[in-house]
Amino acid sequence: MKIADVRHILDTIGGMFPDAHCELNHSNAIELTIAVLLSAQCTDATVNKVTVDLFQKYKTPLDYISVPLEELEGDIRRIGLYRNKAKHIQSLCSILIEQYGGEIPQAHDLLITLPGVGRKTANVVVSNAFGVPAIAVDTHVERVAKRLGLSGWKDSVLIVEKKLMKAVPRDEWTLTHHRLIFFGRYHCKAQNPKCQVCPLLDVCREGKKRMKTSLIRKDNDQAPKVKN
């Protein structure tokens, strides 16, 4: 894609969501890491409902490993896959205490070695907690990137990330990540995207396809019915 086309996409989405930000409530790097870990296959809204009480009860990594696993499971029971996530949280916190003085490591390559922390989580943490430019590719970012032609339909998540990093100026990586999420979450939704009012319809492969299908259906519905 041409630089001018990428700029058009970024500026348009930026105009729609100038204040896009991380919607997971947190006050430090540990809370952010745990919140992102919990958000896998779960909405940010649900995570925020759980962490309101969770972050009041557990302030440090030591707090998380000082309770029975079953108790932590109960505290996050409303989260999908809560049993595995509770295990990951306690394992992660043990490592933080043993190897990192109870703090979240700032290096990306160290973060991805922690239990329950994949590349996406690490990118969110380094960018939001430590100010390191990064593009985390979640389902919203992946969907939007593919629909707008910023990546290929069959590209893996890692390839999508690399293509976005190449296309977007480095100092805009983090903000672009947030804006793409907002665009995908509130406008270019998976099931009911707002194609009819989308300012990027001219460059959206999915949008053009959907609008064409919609017009065909409309024409068919308006066609005179032939009586037998």
Residue 208: which pLDDT band, with cuts at 50, 70 and 90? confident
207 compared with 101, residue with greater pLDDT: 101
pLDDT tens sequence across 148-205? 999 999 999 999 999 999 999 999 999 999 999 999 999 999 999 999 999 999 999 8
pLDDT at 224: 59
Residue 227 lies in a domain: no
- Annotated catalytic residue 85: no
> What count of residues does the chain have?
228
Q: Hey, how many other C-beta atoms are within 10 angstroms of the C-beta on 207? A: 20
Summary mean pLDDT of the chain = 92
Residue 91 lies in a domain: yes
pLDDT at 217: 53
Q: How far apart are CA 69 and CA 87, in angstroms?
A: 7
Least confident span in 41-55, 106-120, 201-215: 201-215
Question: Which of 49, 59, 75, 138 is flagged as catalytic?
Answer: 138
Residue 134 lies in a domain: yes
Question: Which of 2, 120, 221, 225 is flagged as catalytic?
Answer: 120
pLDDT tens sequence across 65-106? 999 999 999 999 999 999 999 999 999 999 999 999 999 999
Residue 213: which pLDDT band, with cuts at 50, 70 and 90? confident
pLDDT at 221: 53
Q: Residue 92 sits in a domain of what CATH number?
A: 1.10.340.30
- Annotated catalytic residue 154: no
Q: How far apart are CA 135 and CA 180, in angstroms?
A: 10
Residue 125 lies in a domain: yes
Residue 212 lies in a domain: no
Q: How far apart are CA 145 and CA 164, in angstroms?
A: 8
For residues 165 and 173, the answer to whether their CB atoms sit within 8 Å is yes
pLDDT at 57: 97
Q: Tell whether the model's pLDDT for residue 1 goes beyond 90.
A: no
Q: How far apart are CA 121 and CA 143, in angstroms?
A: 18
Residue 93 lies in a domain: yes
pLDDT at 2: 85
Number of domains in the chain: 1
Residue 61 lies in a domain: yes
Residue numbers of the domain that contains 54: 1-191
pLDDT at 74: 97
pLDDT at 41: 87
For residues 170 and 10, the answer to whether their CB atoms sit within 8 Å is no
Residue 31 lies in a domain: yes
